[in-house]
Amino acid sequence: MRKLSISLSFTLFNSLLPSISLFLLLPCTESKTSGGNITSEFCPITNCSEKGPTIRFPFRLNTQPNFCGHEGFELSCSNNNTILHLPSSSSDYYVQEISYRDSIITIRDVQETSCPIQSLLSFNITNSNFFFFPSWLGKTLVNCTETIDFFVTIGPVECLSGDKNFVYVRNSHTDIDVLGSACRTYKSFNVSTEFDLVKAIMRDSSTPRVVLGWNDFEYGCQGCEKSGDMCRYNITSNSTICLNQPRETELSVF
């Protein structure tokens, strides 16, 4: 009788095994938690186009609730382009890339001008959550009252210079004192690549791309993204949470 009971239990387990396995492999969005469906706990990840940057915490689309992102990280969509508006700037910017792992965003002025590098002069990140991302691509515009000839400078930039002032571009880490008293600094910025900068100086039709960073420490995401996981805002707990990326799409038990 005992052998029959064991046999029936084993047969029942085998019959249920496919259903159990299927349940364990269901997408996370289909599973239930004590707070309800997991999709109701997180703001959806989105973008403005198939090739556009992914939009998620700390960013949000302006069509999403305020709690989906932090103040100052609002993005919008226009003709499949992702747009960032900076509070102190007179222009909107196309978002080219967002690296959540490195906390950097690459943007480009939506306005095309006959002097592309001019857009860097009106670029203003005051009162924003962003800063110029430190890198060897950091550049500075200098205005000189006479022509100079130093290997550390590029220029003069024709469309910014006049009869009595000459604008050059130099590496930010270079001491301006080597340029002499005739030059003064009036704008620092970061470009995406040297190629972007050269194109802007040569009056190419496209404005240069600028690299900005943000401090993810205050948003509770420090270390999460760098470890390869994903920082999300949990609506239920009213806090950020670090999610293992593979579990974001599939649950599996081994």
- Output DSSP code: residue 65: -
Model confidence at 32, pLDDT cuts 50, 70, 90, reads: very low
Q: What is the reported pTM?
A: 0.69
Does pLDDT of 202 surpass 60?
yes
Q: What pLDDT does residue 129 have?
A: 87
Write down the domain spans for the chain. 32-137+191-249, 138-190
Neighbour tally for 104: CB within 10 Å: 17
Q: What is the structure's pLDDT at 79?
A: 94
Average pLDDT, the chain: 75
Q: With a cut of 70, say whether residue 133 has pLDDT above it.
A: no
Q: Which residue has the tokens 């196309």?
A: 94
pLDDT for 188-198, tens place per residue?
Answer: 777 767 777 77
Strands (E), 2-122: 32-33, 36-37, 60-61, 74-78, 81-85, 92-99, 104-109
Residue 180 in tokens? 């002499």
DSSP three-state, residue 148? coil
* 112 compared with 92, residue with greater pLDDT: 92
For residue 197, with 0-12 CB atoms within 10 Å meaning exposed, 13-18 middle and 19 or more buried, which class applies? buried
Of 62, 60, 61, the closest CA to residue 70 belongs to: 60
